[in-house]
Amino acid sequence: MTAPRQIRVNAFDMNCPTHLVAGTWRDPESRASEYKDLAYWTDLARTCERGLMDGIFIADVLGVYDVFGGSPDGALRGGAQVPVNDPALVVPAMAAVTEHLGFGITASTSFEHPYTFARRMSTLDHLTKGRVGWNIVTSYLESGARNIGLDAQVRHDNRYDIADEYMEVLYKLWEGSWEDDAVVADPARNLYADPEKVHPIEHDGTYFKVPGIHLSEPSPQRTPLLYQAGQSNRGKRFAAEHAEAVFMGAPRPEILRANVDDLRGRLVDAGRDPHDIRVFSSFSVVVAPSAAEAEEKRERYRALIDPEGTLVLWSGWLGYDLEPYDLDEPLRHVPNEAMQSTNEIFGDGRWTVRDFVEGLGFGADGPSATGDPAAVADQIEDWIDTTGADGINLNHVVTQQSYVDFVDLVVPELQRRGRYRTTYEEGTLRDKFFGRGSRLPDTHRAARHRRHPAGAPA
Ligand SMILES: Cc1cc2nc3c(=O)[nH]c(=O)nc-3n(C[C@H](O)[C@H](O)[C@H](O)COP(=O)(O)O)c2cc1C
């Protein structure tokens, strides 16, 4: 008999007061408004490592949610992903108080040049000793595009074309520019790096020109662990070619199952193993020692849900204004340049604004389980087993209480069932994910940019 599949867990947070569940920042236990303090992040990191989680994944947007009512006022009132600070800068502090926890940083291929971004990620990979991952996003907020000087957001599929070239530039910098033995650091020879072994990448493409060398010396993973979250047709094609982990949001198991199966099939088409990608699916939990206490807690949280903040977020994701909708009016699929897959999933005529405000309010784009530890563990196991996902991306309802409750109550229950690790694997984040070393495998497209020791392209 084969052992039951281990369930992976990432904590999902954002460097702002309201990430996904609007209104609960007002709960007396919430630490949401402490997001500006290092202690918030170091405490969170310690909790997640105590719970043997794979990592903390920090979402990010550059731009404000101004689709609802055509203004950013609602977002500002609810702290809905604004004010928002840089996700990368909190990582070194968290790394300093942990040993194994991974850090997934979201950054967009649409807003920053790959040359500068490559150095920032290499720096983090050095400082964390190979525990950093990158959530590759192409962005969806029109306001972000305008504030970096574009007249309008680049079209959805074209953003992925640009992202493809962005990745090629990064692979050349991370994998190809410095040979493994380029750093000599020999005081006797007065030689830090051997210039013969550091190569200009000479990239001259459609969107980017980068002639020179990478600024950082090779870090433990070189390329950070690559996460991605697009579920559109074009998004999944991109994932199959680049990603090692994906985030998927789905309100029903059959939707997730179809996306997981589709993605695994595309991996094979791209010459990779169907399990070369770990799938994390959005999930939230309200748990307490007894079912009655959990219900009580859920009711307390539910009373805090802020309808305006909720619709601010959903309008931004869907790319159209929900303000004119009646509570019970079914949503439609409104083609636009924002999140295509989310727009399709929730535009099938079965969802209303009331669902967002009353039901989905807790889970954002995924399910939400309430109950005692056994009931919640049952629901997580069931979700993982019916969908084929590898793990969950744990959305908080109240930060940091949702994570503390999960670690104290759900983790031991999953461990008892043999569905959760009892100790960390050794090595870098990539090692912990796949157990085959710190570097991308030779089957990944990045590998073609590696060099032989002699310096010729491999
Ligand atoms: C769990 C999850 C987390 C995401 N986090 C971010 C994020 O932090 N920043 C961002 O710009 N987009 C984020 N996205 C959105 C995706 O990058 C993408 O736009 C979305 O899934 C729609 O994909 P599509 O445009 O290929 O349909 C996230 C999506 C999911 C499912």
Per-residue model confidence (pLDDT) at position 285: 96
Q: Give the Å distance between the CA of 174 and the centre of ligand 1.
A: 24
Domain total for the chain? Answer: 1
Domain membership of residue 380 (yes or no) is: yes
Q: Give the Å distance between the CA of 159 and the centre of ligand 1.
A: 13
Cβ of 341 less than 6 Å from ligand 1? yes
Q: How far apart are the first and last CA of the chain?
A: 42
Domain membership of residue 397 (yes or no) is: yes
Closest CA to 232 of 133, 160, 328, 301: 160
Domain membership of residue 454 (yes or no) is: no
Q: Give the Å distance between the CA of 287 and the centre of ligand 1.
A: 27
Domain membership of residue 1 (yes or no) is: no
Beta bridge partners of 429: none
Per-residue model confidence (pLDDT) at position 341: 84
Which residue CA neighbors atom 22 of ligand 1 most closely?
339
pLDDT 10s digits, 35-44: 999 999 999 9
Per-residue model confidence (pLDDT) at position 456: 45
- What are φ and ψ of residue 386, in 5° steps? -85, -25
Tell me the helices (H) and strands (E) count for the chain, helix number first.
16, 15
Tell me which H or E stretch contains 278: strand 278-287
Domain membership of residue 402 (yes or no) is: yes
Which residue CA neighbors atom 28 of ligand 1 most closely?
229
Cβ of 33 less than 6 Å from ligand 1? no
Q: Alpha-carbon distance 174 to 210, whole Å?
A: 13
Q: Give the Å distance between the CA of 187 and the centre of ligand 1.
A: 48
Residues 6 or more apart whose Cβ sits within 8 Å of residue 351: 251, 330, 331
Q: Alpha-carbon distance 301 to 405, whole Å?
A: 14
Q: Give the Å distance between the CA of 222 and the centre of ligand 1.
A: 24
Which residue CA neighbors atom 6 of ligand 1 most closely?
59
Which residue CA neighbors atom 9 of ligand 1 most closely?
60
Cβ of 60 less than 6 Å from ligand 1? yes
Per-residue model confidence (pLDDT) at position 258: 95
Cβ of 249 less than 6 Å from ligand 1? yes
pLDDT, block means (10 residues), the chain with 458 residues: 86 97 96 98 98 98 95 97 98 98 97 97 98 95 89 91 97 98 98 98 98 98 95 91 94 93 93 93 96 96 93 93 91 86 86 80 80 98 97 96 98 98 98 96 94 52
Residue type, 34: E
Which of 84, 140, 238 for a ligand 1 pocket mutation test, highest count of atoms within 8 Å of Cβ? 140
Q: What is the CATH number of the domain that holds 48?
A: 3.20.20.30
Per-residue model confidence (pLDDT) at position 344: 86
Residues 6 or more apart whose Cβ sits within 8 Å of residue 416: none
- Its domain, for residue 25, covers 8-449
Residue 289 C-beta-side C-alpha neighbours within 13 Å = 0
Domain membership of residue 458 (yes or no) is: no
Per-residue model confidence (pLDDT) at position 362: 65
Cβ of 18 less than 6 Å from ligand 1? no
Per-residue model confidence (pLDDT) at position 359: 63
Burial class of residue 93, CB neighbours in 10 A (0-12, 13-18, 19+)? middle
Q: Give the Å distance between the CA of 179 and the centre of ligand 1.
A: 34
Burial class of residue 246, CB neighbours in 10 A (0-12, 13-18, 19+)? buried
Task: Give whole-number Cα distances, 417 to 372, 377, 413, 414, in Å.
Answer: 15, 9, 7, 5
Which of 135, 142, 263 for a ligand 1 pocket mutation test, highest count of atoms within 8 Å of Cβ? 135
Question: In which residue are the tokens 């309808």 written?
Answer: 307
Which residue CA neighbors atom 19 of ligand 1 most closely?
339
Cβ of 137 less than 6 Å from ligand 1? yes
Cβ of 128 less than 6 Å from ligand 1? no
3-state secondary structure of 105: strand
Q: Give the Å distance between the CA of 243 and the centre of ligand 1.
A: 14
Q: Alpha-carbon distance 159 to 140, whole Å?
A: 10
Domain membership of residue 3 (yes or no) is: no
* DSSP H stretches of helix in 243-306: 253-269, 291-302
Domain membership of residue 414 (yes or no) is: yes
Cβ of 231 less than 6 Å from ligand 1? yes
Question: In which residue are the tokens 């947007």 written?
Answer: 61
Per-residue model confidence (pLDDT) at position 17: 98
